[in-house]
Amino acid sequence: MGEGYEEFEATSLFCPRCRKAVPIRKKLLLVLPTGTKYDYLCAECGLPVGAKVDHDPTEFRRTAPPPGRPGRLPEAGGPRRGFPPGRRRR
């Protein structure tokens, strides 16, 4: 027995409010450098019934900007709101 399951994905869990096994909805909570955290919600009442941490950091790398390219900030000399272009505020 060399190979086994690496991960499981829940499709139904027990809900204490509904008092039965119910289908779940997977909700993204956090995207971290070490992985992604999900919350499992009851599809009937919305109560959190479980959680999962995925230790695959590729989702974080997709959302983080590439290194060495800072985000663009608005230019400081742009037009001010409420005044027509070319007219200065006194």
pLDDT (tens digit, 9 = 90+) per residue, 77-90? 555 556 566 655 56
Report residue 62: phi and psi, to 5°.
-70, -30
Distance, CA of 3 to CA of 14 (rounded, Å):
29
Q: What is the Cα–Cα distance from 45 to 37, expressed in whole angstroms?
A: 21
Burial bucket for residue 49 (CB in 10 Å: 0-12, 13-18, 19+): buried
Span 51-70, pLDDT tens digits: 998 887 776 666 656 666 55
| DSSP-derived secondary structure for 17-72 | TTTEEEEEEEEEEEEETTEEEEEEEETTT--EEEEEEE--THHHHHHSPPTT-PPP
Q: For the whole prediction, is pTM greater than 0.85?
A: no
| Spatial separation of the C-alpha atoms in residues 36 and 42, rounded to whole Å | 20
